[in-house]
Structure 1
Amino acid sequence: MSKMETPAALAPLAVTYGDIVRASAAIRGAVLKTRFEPSRTLSELFGAEIWLKFENQQFTASYKERGALNKLLSLPDAEKANGVIAMSAGNHAQGVAYHAHRLAIPATIVMPASTPTIKVENTRSHGANVILEGQCLEDAFDFAVRYGAEHHMTFVHPFNDAQVIAGQGTVALEMLETAPDLDLLIVPIGGGGLISGMAVAAKAINPKIKVIGVEAQLYPSMLNAVKHASLPVGGDTLAEGIAVTSPGDLTQPIIEALVDDILLVSESSLERAVSLLITIEKTVVEGAGAAGLAALIGSHRLYKDRKIGLVLCGGNIDTRLLASVLTRELARDGRLSRLAIDIPDRPGQLAKVAGLIGGAGANVVEVYHQRVFTDVPAKGTELNLVIETRDRSHLEKVVTGLRAGGYAVTVKSSGAPI
């Protein structure tokens, strides 16, 4: 998808470079100027010079603070006194709540009833009044707009607002201040607020820079809008922070005018990106925050030898979900595997199998027998093991040794069949 040469692209955009420069001055000192550094290991892995912007290290662990604060600071005193209302199930909620509390602005946050308790409590901890309403984000949004109007509150939109977009654009200012010769920015797209602001800033500073957007494969809403496509939208994605069904009418024209391409990333690429960032950079990033790296996993040959800036835009991920992602990645790498082994049902067989596995240098993590729900003969049993190995070649060595010992082995979960 090349930049769209359409009347919309030629019309004045909702946000200017000057707006972003003013936003940068407004939020300075109240929002962290996060690190922007090259990653030597990722650069070697992908054959490009990769720089990382650590927005997951903001106080609320997300870049959303920037736009929220810029919007709050722009309000007239009367609107500040009446308070603000926002709808969000995650990072925008915490950004608005935190900075509204700092500025003594009453804040109400509407969240879907299904929002995890930890996110609700984190938002309340910043001093906001939290209302749980609706079964989905659309229901919560409709309620927030009505409730805010009834109580004369100012609605702070998560992305479709010029002041919010300008605040998010300050990320690009900081990146290009540190590395002005970047060839490429790869930026997650949900509603489009972050990439819109960043594209306006980046193209003003360096018109030759390429700006690439990334959406979860399950939520290609912006790609559908700008390419007039009709890919299905919906499903459970690791990148719930960019799982937006309808893009903004302010952000879409900016993206059509200034964004050079939009890539879709698979769930497996998102999982691998989260795992790589923990393993290599020792930093926790949520699915949406890892979307830029996920795009490189799927398309790195397109960007070989380029100088690339990635935004790690958020770090709010449920610990149980994170544990699941890391465990699944161990399985894909052949470091954690489940084996089904047919053995005679008589004493000593478990010890013999364990000896073969231990002798090959692997570790048994979990053991159980299956005597009923199996196709092995009545005098046999299916031994199920979860084992830990160094890598896939080590796993292959373990399986080869078991088969040489006379056992029928099936690798149940380790990526490619062995």
Structure 2
Amino acid sequence: MDTEHRTAGPPWLRHWAEAEPGGGLPWRSTLLIAVFVLVGSGFAARNQLDRQPLDAYSRILLLAGPALLLFRHRRPVPVVFGVAATALAYLAAGYPYGPVFVTVAVACYAAIVHGHRRAAWWALGLLWLGHVLAGHWLYRHLPPAGDGPAPWGQELPVAGFVVAILAASELVRVRREQWAQQRVERAAAERRRADEERLRIARELHDVLAHSLSVINVQAGVGLALLDGDPEQARTALTTIKAASKEALGEVRQVLDSLRPPVSRHHPSNDALRAAPFDFGDAPRAPAPGLDRLPELVEQAAAAGLTVAVTRTGDPAPVPPGADLAAFRIVQEALTNVVRHSGSRTARVRVEQRPDALRLQIDDDGPATGDDAGGSGNGLAGMRERAAALGGTIDAGTRPDGGFRVRATLPLRPKETP
């Protein structure tokens, strides 16, 4: 049985079911059982004067069971048969009934929760059978002297005790398996959430950097081409590069801030951050972008030499934040792909908002340039992942006339779960 399975459940149950910390023998619980059995048997003997009085041999048998219980987690099968044998020897010798059955219960419990159910059942069955033989047929040859046959009525409580031990042990075994399964499911859910969060951050960083770096790439080429012949236009290109890079740094900082806990204003690490040689500017921690920032995308595309026409129709109601961010990123990535891969210098963005869904369509007239343009190739995959996360769809491909079209449908929920 693996460690995760064995350690499932509440602490009070683990204390009785497991070995000592560090993998040693369960000394403390076994010592407590031994004391309870010895003291309890002494009290039980006072009210059973017809049985043999406790002597040195009886105490050896009473201690033999707890001694075997020390190994109940390492060798549960031999232990459960050994404890049942010592208990049967104790009862066959005519000693008083009492806490000797506690050692049998603990041994059976350990065997069952470690997966040896059949061994526990056999041990208890043999103990009960031996008790029946001793009490009804072999009593003439066993102490105490002159003892008669035991009444059959007393076998009912013994049988009930056997059934209770098995039922309780089986119940604990089932509960431990359920706890172990829950632990596995929680761990899987945590890994899944972590993977989804990493994927979300990767998409955000890809969309932010791909768009901004595409603008920077185009403007850097313009600046280099005009540096000698038209310094004023080169200055404009450099100004665009500065603005695009500052915005990209702000958005990257916003994404990365979600990964780290807030740091106290007086935390010592702030000094190191302030002394760092990187200047992130005064980019504010703005809310996540949405369709209200489409004019900014149009301006950035214009700075990269792309003319974008935007058409919005339908219901003007506010869009849920998740769908709003996804729509903005899809349009941003689609325009980035036009800048990178299309020979067209115009694009058309159509936003249709319905009560139940938001429909996006981005078109360019092409043709594709076939240039790599430094892209990662994950843009369309990221768009599909964003749409799928909201239960929407993406359809992207070449039009018959040589242009390229991206269509997205994002369902709108009346109320988003926070």
Shorter-chain TM band = under 0.3
Greater share of strand residues, 1 or 2?
A: 1
TM-score by length of 1: 0.21
Greater share of helix residues, 1 or 2?
A: 2
Q: Which has the larger radius of gyration?
A: 2
TM-score by length of 2: 0.21
